[in-house]
Amino acid sequence: MLFKQLNKKIRLLRHKGKEPYLSIYKITGYYPDNIELYKQSLSHRSAPVMMDDGRWLNNERMEFLGDAILNSIVADILYKRYPNKQEGFLTTTRSKIVQRETLNQIAVELGIDRIVRYATPNIHRHCYIFGNAMEALLAALYLDHGYRCCFNFVNDVIVERYLILEKITKKEYNFKSLLIEWCQRNKLNITFNLIDTYFDADRTPVFQTEICMGEKQIGTGAGFTKKESQQNAAEAAISAIRTDAEIRQYISVLRKEKDRGDVDEREYARLPLKKKESIEAVTTTDDSEIIDQT
């Protein structure tokens, strides 16, 4: 393998268009054999690339394949690293690793944002095209070099270099799940309602969600996906339950109507007090927190 890589490097030095090859090598640690695969993997649907056979292709199909490969490899890594953990723990941890926000941040750290082709202005501000491109790049690596090289890239680069697994496994990041579980435990009913959809200045759809407890609105949130808006609304609702005296009084009234006592103060203390912080939480570039918007 070492000799093969060295031979490719020597041939590359004589190659006129060597820059794309070097970029892929710097990111993955492997020199491309079929550069067309990598060109396609880095082409957003807004800027398709013409292949040697005349077809115009983008990276959506490769993103589909890369997503499946990434989930498989992460599952493999977690299964072997945590031999005594149950299925629920492994599934939750994998979802935190492969969530769009985390992948997008890692893609930027790797420099993928500088080589992705896209034509829609400011689209990168509203969706995770760099993380999606990284998944497509993983598919290109798989088609070009096979599963073992993909495993090495995910394990040695993505996981070992850019993630802090111990931090990921110890944190609960899903505000929606936290809120639902807390309300179920305390016999309180809540609903998530989509109350508005509109377009921002870049014509990107924005969704707004409200959370109601009984007849009272306890939180609202907006996002570029319905799930993101629900997470933001859940975070706002948790903050209100934890700190708003009026909301607490309303909860007491609801419970008394059903012949139940006040919620124990220790139950309120179980809810997180801090607002969500940067995505860099589970990467090695910072030591803050991250949310899971799956």
Quote the pLDDT of residue 50: 80
Tell me the torsion sign for CA atoms 220, 221, 222, 227.
negative
Percent pLDDT > 70 in the chain is 82
Residues catalogued as catalytic: 67, 135
Q: The sheet that has 190-199: what strands, in order across it?
A: 190-199, 205-213, 216-223
72 pLDDT higher than 60: yes
Quote the pLDDT of residue 16: 46
Average pLDDT, the chain: 83
Quote the pLDDT of residue 138: 97
Between CA 234 and CA 178 the distance in angstroms is 8
The SS3 assignment for 162 reads helix
With vertex at residue 170, the alpha carbon angle to CA 168 and CA 171, rounded to the nearest 5 degrees, is 70
Quote the pLDDT of residue 46: 85
Quote the pLDDT of residue 285: 47
Between CA 219 and CA 239 the distance in angstroms is 9
Quote the pLDDT of residue 281: 44
The answer to whether residues 178 and 238 touch, using CB atoms and an 8 Å cutoff, is yes
Place of tokens 């499946």: 68
Quote the pLDDT of residue 291: 31
The answer to whether residues 136 and 13 touch, using CB atoms and an 8 Å cutoff, is no
Please name the amino acid found at residue 263.
V
Per-range mean pLDDT, top range of 118-132, 136-150, 239-253: 136-150
Least reliable range by pLDDT among 185-189, 221-225, 258-262? 258-262
Least reliable range by pLDDT among 46-55, 59-68, 273-282? 273-282
Quote the pLDDT of residue 13: 45
Torsion of CA 20, 26, 29, 34, to 10 degrees: 0
Percent pLDDT > 90 in the chain is 47
Quote the pLDDT of residue 59: 93
The answer to whether residues 125 and 222 touch, using CB atoms and an 8 Å cutoff, is no
